[in-house]
C-alpha cells in the first residue's frame, strides 16, 4: 500500500478496502461509500499523487501507465473493480526504475471504486491527490449504442450522453471542494465550434454539446485547469506516433485531424508533470506526418495561458468561495 490512508485521506476510516491475495502486489482496491466531508488534513496534498477519472477508458488507462512512468502515484477511479483486471495486468507488465533500482509499477497504483453518478463518493475517492485527470468520455461506438438502446440504457460507465457532462461537473466540483492544485479535462476537437465536422457530431450524437458544457463549468469554477481537445482517436493505433508527430494549437483553431490515444495520454501525463507549462490553457492536439518531432515542453510554451499563475487560487464550487 503506497498511502498511509489514516494520515493522508480523512475519510479512510469510512472506505472499504478489499486487498488482493498477493500482499506483495502493492495494489489497494477500495470502494468509496462515504459522504464528502472535509477536514484540515484534506488540505495536505500529495504533490506526487494523481487521481484519474475514467481510468479504464482508452485514454484513461494509457494515462495511468504514462503517469506511473513519470514517477507519479495514481489513484485510478473505476466504476467496477472486478472489471478492471485489464488495467491491473497492463500495469503489472510494466517495469520502472528508481534510485534504488527496479521497482514494481503496481506498487504505485491504487484502484478506487467510485460511481460518478453519486457525488458523495467522489470526494473520498480523490483522497489527498493534488491533481485530477478527467478522461471521462464515450467513444463514437458507445454513443451509437446509447442512441439504439435508449437514454436509460447503461453502456459501461455511462447511462446516457447527457449525463457525461453531469458526471464531469461532479468530479471537478469535488476537486474544487478538495482544493486540488490542478484539473486536467479531456474533451474533443471541435468543441465550441460550428461547421463541419462539429455540426455533424452535434446533430447526430450531441457529443460536443455536453463536452462544451463541461468546459464552461470548469472555466467558471476558478480551478486551475488544462483543457485538452484531441482530434479523432478511433482509428489511430499506439504505433501512430512512429509516423506522425503531434502538433499543438490554441483553442478554436483546428477543424479536423487525428491523433492516437497513446499520444494524448503521453501529453496529459507530461502536463501533469509540468503544471506551470500547462497552467490555464486550452490545447488542441493532432498528429501529422509533416510535423517535426518537437519536445512537448516547447510545444506548450507556444500556447498562451488564459490566466496569470497565482496561488493560492480562488475557487467557486457550489456557491463556496475559497
Lowest-confidence region among 137-146, 183-192, 283-292: 137-146
Distance of alpha carbon 276 from the chain centroid: 18
Q: Which domains does the chain have, with CATH numbers?
A: 5-321 (3.40.50.720)
Burial of 151 (0-12, 13-18, 19+ CB in 10 A): exposed
Q: Which helix (H) or strand (E) holds 74?
A: strand 73-78
- Give the pLDDT of residue 78: 93
Q: What's the pLDDT tens digit per position in 111-139?
A: 999 988 888 899 999 999 999 999 986 54
- Which comes out higher in pLDDT, residue 281 or 96? 281
CA dihedral 43→182→174→52, nearest 10 degrees, is: -110
For the segment 139-157, the average pLDDT, to the nearest whole number, is 41
What is the average pLDDT across 245-249? 97
d(CA 166, CA 310): 28
**Using CB atoms within 10 A of its CB, is residue 67 exposed (0-12), middle (13-18) or buried (19+)?**
buried
Query: How many CB atoms within 10 Å of residue 24?
Result: 8
pLDDT tens digits, 28-53: 565 555 443 444 455 689 999 999 99
User: What is the C-alpha separation between 100 and 91, in angstroms, rounded?
Assistant: 20
CA separation for the pair 57, 139 (Å, rounded): 9
Residue entry with cell 501512430: 240
Q: What percent of the chain has pLDDT over 90?
A: 46
pLDDT value of residue 220? 85
- Residue 28: predicted pLDDT: 56
Is residue 164 pLDDT above 80, yes or no?
no
Whether the per-residue pLDDT at 7 is higher than 50: the answer is no
172 band by pLDDT with thresholds 50, 70 and 90: confident
What pLDDT, on a 0 to 100 scale, did the predictor assign at position 127? 94
User: ∠263-250-194 over CA atoms, to 5°?
Assistant: 100
Q: In which band, very low, low, confident or very high, does the pLDDT at 207 lie, cut at 50, 70 and 90?
A: low
The SS3 of residue 59 is: helix
pLDDT, one tens digit per residue, over 57-91 is 999 999 999 999 999 999 999 988 988 999 999 99
Asked if pLDDT for residue 240 goes beyond 60, the answer is yes
Q: Are strands 46-53 and 73-78 parallel, antiparallel or unpaired?
A: parallel
Non-local (6+) Cβ contacts of 238 within 8 A are 62, 260, 261, 262
User: At 94, is the secondary structure helix, strand, or coil?
Assistant: coil
Residue 126: what pLDDT?
A: 95
Task: Supply 155's cell numbers.
Answer: 453502456
Amino acid at each position: 500500500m503506497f498511502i498511509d490512508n489514516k494520515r493522508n485521506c480523512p475519510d479512510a476510516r469510512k472506505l472499504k478496502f478489499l486487498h488482493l491475495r498477493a500482499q506483495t502486489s502493492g495494489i489497494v482496491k477500495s470502494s468509496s461509500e462515504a459522504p464528502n466531508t472535509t477536514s484540515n488534513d484534506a488540505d495536505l496534498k500529495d504533490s506526487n499523487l494523481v487521481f484519474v477519472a475514467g481510468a479504464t477508458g482508452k485514454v484513461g488507462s494509457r494515462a495511468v501507465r504514462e503517469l506511473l512512468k513519470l514517477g507519479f502515484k495514481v489513484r485510478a477511479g473505476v466504476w467496477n473493480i472486478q472489471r478492471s483486471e485489464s488495467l491491473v495486468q497492463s500495469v503489472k507488465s510494466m517495469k520502472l526504475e528508481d534510485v534504488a533500482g527496479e521497482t514494481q509499477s503496481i506498487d504505485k497504483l491504487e484502484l478506487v471504486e467510485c460511481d460518478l453518478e453519486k457525488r458523495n463518493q467522489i470526494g473520498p475517492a480523490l483522497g489527498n491527490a493534488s491533481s485530477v485527470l478527467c478522461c471521462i468520455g464515450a467513444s463514437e461506438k458507445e454513443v451509437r449504442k446509447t442512441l439504439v438502446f435508449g437514454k436509460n440504457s447503461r453502456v459501461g460507465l455511462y447511462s446516457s450522453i447527457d449525463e457525461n457532462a453531469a458526471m464531469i461537473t461532479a468530479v471537478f466540483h469535488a476537486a474544487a471542494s478538495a482544493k486540488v492544485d490542478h484539473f486536467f479535462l479531456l474533451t474533443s476537437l471541435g468543441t465550441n465550434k460550428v461547421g463541419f465536422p462539429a455540426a455533424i457530431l452535434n446533430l447526430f450524437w450531441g457529443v460536443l454539446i455536453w463536452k462544451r458544457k463541461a468546459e464552461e463549468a470548469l472555466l467558471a469554477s476558478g480551478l486551475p485547469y488544462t483543457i485538452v481537445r484531441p482530434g479523432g482517436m478511433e482509428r489511430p493505433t499506439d504505433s501512430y506516433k512512429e509516423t506522425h508527430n503531434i502538433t499543438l494549437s490554441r483553442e478554436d483553431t483546428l477543424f479536423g485531424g487525428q491523433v492516437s490515444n497513446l499520444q494524448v495520454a503521453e501529453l496529459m501525463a507530461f502536463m501533469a508533470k509540468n503544471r506551470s507549462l500547462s497552467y490555464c490553457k486550452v490545447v488542441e492536439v493532432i498528429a501529422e506526418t509533416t510535423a517535426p518531432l518537437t519536445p512537448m515542453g516547447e510545444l506548450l510554451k507556444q500556447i498562451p495561458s488564459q490566466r496569470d499563475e497565482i496561488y493560492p487560487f480562488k475557487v467557486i464550487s457550489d456557491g463556496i468561495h475559497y
